[in-house]
Chains A and B, each alone.
Chain A
């Protein structure tokens, strides 16, 4: 069983709705990530937080707004999404060590949140 917990497991939202995806880990990891995965495709990185600060934003549209309120929690706020944003959203976490950040550490994923935009 994964130690990264994501809620909700399924979310259906309209294009004008505002919703949030939540992620929690209690492994003491200080790096947390959001990935997006479309059907039959590999996951793609969206955001990386390191020590609760946003360190990587992979040119994600502003309708996706990440937030890291503390070292255990990671949120993804959703607003004015498009149907093509429907996907599996995966949260992950890892330790940070060494000069190059979390390089060399196992990254643990949650079960994901299935998002459908109608």
Chain B
């Protein structure tokens, strides 16, 4: 079963606006990763945040992690039409030999209108 739940399922915004996507998970984690997937393409890694980190930035991306609430958010600032894609969070479970076994959320479909 999928550990992560993302909301919203779909988000439609205008170019220049900010987009915020949320992810919740159920069990303890080592880290949480965010990926982007353009239609019919592979997954592009965006950012990894470790369980002992609370916030991370990369360019126009800002990710937060709240392990007490088992939740994370991805903020894309000043969105562009090229940001249109599906966005997934993925958790790497804590404890034992996880070997990078990622469990993905259901994903958020982001549409940025020019």
Q: Which residues of A contact B (CB under 8 A)?
A: 2, 4, 6, 31, 33, 35, 41-45, 48, 50, 55-56, 88, 90, 92, 94, 96, 100-112, 114
Contact = CB atoms under 8 A, between A and B. Distances in A.
A65 B68 CA distance: 40
Nearest to B51: A104
6 nearest A-B pairs in the assembled complex, by CB-CB distance: A102-B100, A42-B104, A101-B99, A111-B42, A109-B43, A103-B30
Contact of A48 (B31, B90, B101): B101
B106 interface: yes
Given A42-B105, A104-B92, A50 B99 contact: yes
Interface of B: 2, 4, 30-31, 33, 35, 40-45, 48, 50, 88, 90, 92, 94-107
> Which of B2, B100, B107 has the most C-beta atoms of chain A within 10 angstroms of its own C-beta?
B100
Contacts, number: 86
Given A104-B30, A104-B92, A110-B42, A42 B99 contact: no
Contacts of A104: 30-31, 48, 50, 92
Given A107-B33, A112-B41, A101 B100 contact: yes
B42 A112 contact: yes
Given A55-B99, A100-B96, A43 B45 contact: no
